Chains A and B, each alone.
Chain A
Amino acid sequence: MTRNLILGGALSALVVLAALISFLWTPYDHAVMNIPAKLQTPNAQHWLGTDHFGRDLMSMIMVGARTSIAVALVAVGIGMGVGVPLGLTAAARKGSWLDEVIMRGNDLVFAFPSLVIAILITAVLGAGAINAIIAIGIFNIPVFARITRSAALSLWEREFILAARVSGKGAARISAEHILPNVTNLLIVQGTIQFSLGILAEAGLSYVGLGAQPPTPSWGRMLADAQTMVSFAPHLALVPGCAIIVTVLGLNLLGDGLRDHLDPKLRVART
């Protein structure tokens, strides 16, 4: 359905654009407090209202988008950068000890949910955006390794790979020339989904204080701040919440749209 693709693409583009614009311009300085203007609901001056320090929510949301996108994007990069080569290697050496080690390693990482990895890391290294990236990134590795391996395994059985082997091409060359190009669609779609999961995970980690630390603005921490005030200033929770929902929804729709557009039969893991 192209409807998914257009709607998802538009929503995702909106968020990315907001993040990019925030480098050049925000309605107010996101960090400047203005106590007299505190807790305003959305109005002409402050389109999305202000928080308990009188900071402009619109500006905070725009700058917060940077954090969310950066963390999720780098985490997807780590997951793909490590996971895809591992998956390709495991598939090329199917059944060998290397394959066994890679897959058992994957299973092991799967036993540590990303929040648990984050807890371990912060317990030792302290909280921060970098550690959140590492935690989400590590969690992404087995996701990409697994789907790459299973897609590559079925490709290795195909006759065009046998033909390439008969033409004297080695495993590395076949992986680069024949396997990788035929799994890119899958990786793009899975990458989009992991990106959206990364946004959610970053928000969750920041909410419990394991993610980005002040003064770095983040949607998750805005929600944590809003929690005690939700009874009399619900917009403090609604605004960042909707920002997260719009971003994740946009990315998910984009992922679905890309899948249908590129190849409706793609097997994508969605958990």
Chain B
Amino acid sequence: MTLLDITNLSLKIGGLSVLRDVSLTVDPGEVVAVTGESGSGKSMTALAVMQLLPERARTKGYVTLEGTQLLEQSEAQMCAIRGRSVGMVFQEPMTALNPLKTIGEQVMETILIHQAMPRAEAEVRTCEVLERVGLPQDRFPLSRYPHELSGGQRQRVVIAMAIALRPRLLIADEPTTALDVTTQAQILELLKDLVQEYGMGLLIITHDLAVVADLADRIVVMRHGEVVETGQTQWLLRNMRHPYTRMLFAASNHQVTLPDTPAQHPLLEVRGAVRDYKTPRESLFGKPGRYRAVNNVSFTLHRGERLGLVGESGCGKSTLTRAILGLEPLQEGEIRLAGTAVTPDLKSAIRQKMQVVFQDPYGSFNPRHRVARLVSEPFHLLDDAPTGSARADLIAETLTAVGLEPEDGQKYIHQFSGGQRQRIAIARALITRPELIIFDEAVSALDVSVRARILDLMAELCSAYDLSYLFISHDLSVVRTITDRCLVMQRGEIVEQGATEEIFANPRHPYTQQLIAAAPVLPEIPEQNAHSQQA
């Protein structure tokens, strides 16, 4: 019997149509993945099942859970269903828990609020559940507060809250998007085990097709509030019928061809770099402690080379980036750019050789300036910055080079989409023709289809401008295609470096092996689909 049956679900918020005739089913013990890019309505579908929609949302259609019409339930009836028959796990483990209550209280609350058992029993059950999700009592007693746990551990607590009463259906909305790959693999493993053990249905919402292919029994592809295609995972991977589905899978596995690397001349040399941060004093009069974010890092980036830097969050890659950009001082070692030492008081003449593209397409621009001014900000570094029509021409040329129109220079940043903004960020980095560009997670916030086009743009620019860049990312599949050589960073140190293909094919360091094993991989898409994508 079907556990969850959504039929012709439509959802409007105000005048905006968010979902149109969405239909899908989940059987007991089945993992159904809803996937799609941002704005596809996949999260709203999940919230509609929970009836936790924004206040002005209006729904039509049928959401049936084990024969109960959820859309017809009163709020009080829904409260009895939530947490007992349906549990939900959210994206952001860092904020999903009340910071002022212990993890024990918060897990136990699920049990007590439904008056499922007396308090003493509930406490025993809470211990069991936490144990089950991998938080043993000897290390994670009930009295722990959320801030004492890591992101992955907090997500385990959230899962424990959701499954404490063994609901028939578990909904997970991007449960691993905020986590590192190794943690992601563990959490996905846990979810898979729980589904088998409890015979739950799992409705997982994710944008990551590799996760989908790895985990789901069935796939539902959504776009603009509609279901585009649905089918058994293995079958769908072989027989994608809708062009959007094909595009999505192709873009997720997008490969670019980089031009050959020219002769080797060192451009950026990092030698024994060390970066310490002060930590709060241990005692009132004690010395401030030190935290070593970057420890004895050495590498060389050659002219014309595309170097990757991979590592999980907190490994020190952002700190290293800031030191290379001359924004923060080193405590030991040195960084040389074209032979000159990089320090926070770097001369403009040297600084102009290097530019950066950041991750956040929304935070990277002063909202009060026009694009032309934003793009030309690095002219500040030039002694003989072009003026008048030469300046306007250069801005127009650069905007054209990144696939925008010269007229876009007169617009404000809020008039552009995320992908367009990242193009503008690249234009800003290119405009002074620097010798080195640093891409700091530059494609990580983008939807796969947008990401694929930005990667294409980077490959084009490599041929056109002989770019050298340092590409920093946590996403192994992107690094693999967009770099020649690559560094693997763990706890402030470079644990392995070498040619990118070589590292991915034969990782030698255990950490690299672990990273590559943990990263979910998209299966090879059969030829026919790849061809029809080209057509």
Residues of A within 8 A of B (CB): 158-160, 162-169, 178, 181-182
Q: Are A181 and B368 in contact (CB under 8 A)?
A: yes
Contacts of B428 in A (CB 8 A): 163
Q: Compute how far the CA of A169 lies from the CA of B358 in the bound complex, rounded to whole angstroms.
A: 17
Task: Flag whether B327 is at the interface (Cβ < 8 A).
Answer: yes
Contacts of A159 in B (CB 8 A): 358-360, 363-364
Q: Are A167 and B358 in contact (CB under 8 A)?
A: no
- Residues 328-357 of B at the A interface (beta carbon under 8 Å): 346, 348, 351-352, 354-356
Q: Are A163 and B359 in contact (CB under 8 A)?
A: no
List 18 interface pairs A-B (beta carbons < 8 Å), by A numbering: A159-B358, A159-B359, A159-B360, A160-B363, A160-B364, A162-B325, A162-B327, A162-B358, A163-B425, A163-B428, A164-B377, A165-B325, A166-B351, A167-B381, A168-B351, A168-B381, A178-B366, A182-B368
Smallest CB-CB A-B distances: 6 pairs: A159-B358, A159-B364, A167-B378, A168-B381, A159-B363, A168-B348
Question: What 10 additional pairs, Cβ within 8 angstroms, besides A167-B377, A168-B348, A182-B366?
Answer: A160-B363, A163-B356, A163-B358, A163-B364, A167-B378, A167-B380, A168-B381, A169-B377, A181-B368, A182-B368
Cβ-closest chain A residue relative to B348: A168
Task: Flag whether B365 is at the interface (Cβ < 8 A).
Answer: yes
Cβ-closest chain A residue relative to B322: A162
Known contacts: A159-B358, A159-B364, A181-B368. The answer to whether A169 contacts B380 by CB under 8 A is yes
* Least distance between B51 CB and chain A CB atoms (Å): 27
A-B residue pair count with CB separations less than 8 angstroms = 53
Q: Compute how far the CA of A162 lies from the CA of B441 in the bound complex, rounded to whole angstroms.
A: 15
Q: Compute how far the CA of A158 lies from the CA of B361 in the bound complex, rounded to whole angstroms.
A: 11
Q: Are B327 and A166 in contact (CB under 8 A)?
A: yes
Task: Flag whether B367 is at the interface (Cβ < 8 A).
Answer: yes
Q: Compute how far the CA of A182 lies from the CA of B365 in the bound complex, rounded to whole angstroms.
A: 12
Q: Compute how far the CA of A45 lies from the CA of B28 in the bound complex, rounded to whole angstroms.
A: 86
Q: Compute how far the CA of A169 lies from the CA of B326 in the bound complex, rounded to whole angstroms.
A: 12
Give which listed residue, B346, B355, B359, B366, contacts A160 with CB less than 8 A. Answer: B366
Q: Are A162 and B356 in contact (CB under 8 A)?
A: yes
Tell me which of A163, A165, A169, A178 has the highest count of chain B C-beta atoms within 10 A of its own C-beta. A163
Cβ-closest chain B residue relative to A164: B377
Q: Compute how far the CA of A164 lies from the CA of B365 in the bound complex, rounded to whole angstroms.
A: 9
Contacts of B348 in A (CB 8 A): 168
Contacts of A181 in B (CB 8 A): 366, 368
Contacts of A168 in B (CB 8 A): 346, 348, 351-352, 378, 380-381
Q: Compute how far the CA of A127 lies from the CA of B439 in the bound complex, rounded to whole angstroms.
A: 63
Contacts of B356 in A (CB 8 A): 162-163, 166
Cβ-closest chain B residue relative to A179: B366
Q: Are A163 and B377 in contact (CB under 8 A)?
A: yes
Known contacts: A163-B356, A166-B351, A166-B355. The answer to whether A158 contacts B363 by CB under 8 A is yes
Q: Compute how far the CA of A34 lies from the CA of B287 in the bound complex, rounded to whole angstroms.
A: 75
Q: Compute how far the CA of A190 lies from the CA of B14 in the bound complex, rounded to whole angstroms.
A: 33
* Least distance between B173 CB and chain A CB atoms (Å): 24
Contacts of B368 in A (CB 8 A): 181-182
When each residue 32-74 of chain B gets 1 if its CB lies under 8 Å from chain A and 0 otherwise, what string results? Answer: 0000000000000000000000000000000000000000000
Q: Compute how far the CA of A125 lies from the CA of B358 in the bound complex, rounded to whole angstroms.
A: 56
Q: Compute how far the CA of A163 lies from the CA of B431 in the bound complex, rounded to whole angstroms.
A: 13
Contacts of A160 in B (CB 8 A): 363-366
Tell me which of A165, A166, A168, A169 has the highest count of chain B C-beta atoms within 10 A of its own C-beta. A166
Q: Compute how far the CA of A53 lies from the CA of B99 in the bound complex, rounded to whole angstroms.
A: 64
Contacts of A182 in B (CB 8 A): 366-368
- Residues 171-190 of B at the A interface (beta carbon under 8 Å): none
Q: Compute how far the CA of A167 lies from the CA of B363 in the bound complex, rounded to whole angstroms.
A: 16
Contacts of B325 in A (CB 8 A): 162, 165-166
Q: Compute how far the CA of A52 lies from the CA of B354 in the bound complex, rounded to whole angstroms.
A: 78
Contacts of B358 in A (CB 8 A): 159, 162-163
Q: Compute how far the CA of A145 lies from the CA of B351 in the bound complex, rounded to whole angstroms.
A: 33
Q: Compute how far the CA of A178 lies from the CA of B252 in the bound complex, rounded to whole angstroms.
A: 37
When each residue 2-37 of chain B gets 1 if its CB lies under 8 Å from chain A and 0 otherwise, what string results? Answer: 000000000000000000000000000000000000
Cβ-closest chain B residue relative to A184: B368
Contacts of A167 in B (CB 8 A): 377-378, 380-381
* Least distance between A35 CB and chain B CB atoms (Å): 61
* Least distance between A107 CB and chain B CB atoms (Å): 19
Q: Compute how far the CA of A163 lies from the CA of B355 in the bound complex, rounded to whole angstroms.
A: 8
Contacts of A165 in B (CB 8 A): 325, 327
Contacts of B359 in A (CB 8 A): 159
Cβ-closest chain A residue relative to B278: A95
* Least distance between A12 CB and chain B CB atoms (Å): 26
Q: Compute how far the CA of A220 lies from the CA of B365 in the bound complex, rounded to whole angstroms.
A: 49
Contacts of A158 in B (CB 8 A): 363
When each residue 316-327 of chain B gets 1 if its CB lies under 8 Å from chain A and 0 otherwise, what string results? Answer: 000000100111
Cβ-closest chain B residue relative to A165: B327
* Least distance between B515 CB and chain A CB atoms (Å): 26
Q: Compute how far the CA of A166 lies from the CA of B328 in the bound complex, rounded to whole angstroms.
A: 11
* Least distance between A164 CB and chain B CB atoms (Å): 6
Contacts of A169 in B (CB 8 A): 377, 380
Contacts of B364 in A (CB 8 A): 159-160, 163
* Least distance between B220 CB and chain A CB atoms (Å): 35
Q: Compute how far the CA of A162 lies from the CA of B322 in the bound complex, rounded to whole angstroms.
A: 9
Q: Compute how far the CA of A67 lies from the CA of B93 in the bound complex, rounded to whole angstroms.
A: 55
Contacts of B378 in A (CB 8 A): 166-168
* Least distance between A178 CB and chain B CB atoms (Å): 5
Tell me which of B326, B356, B360, B367 has the highest count of chain A C-beta atoms within 10 A of its own C-beta. B356
Contacts of B351 in A (CB 8 A): 166, 168
* Least distance between A210 CB and chain B CB atoms (Å): 42
* Least distance between A233 CB and chain B CB atoms (Å): 52
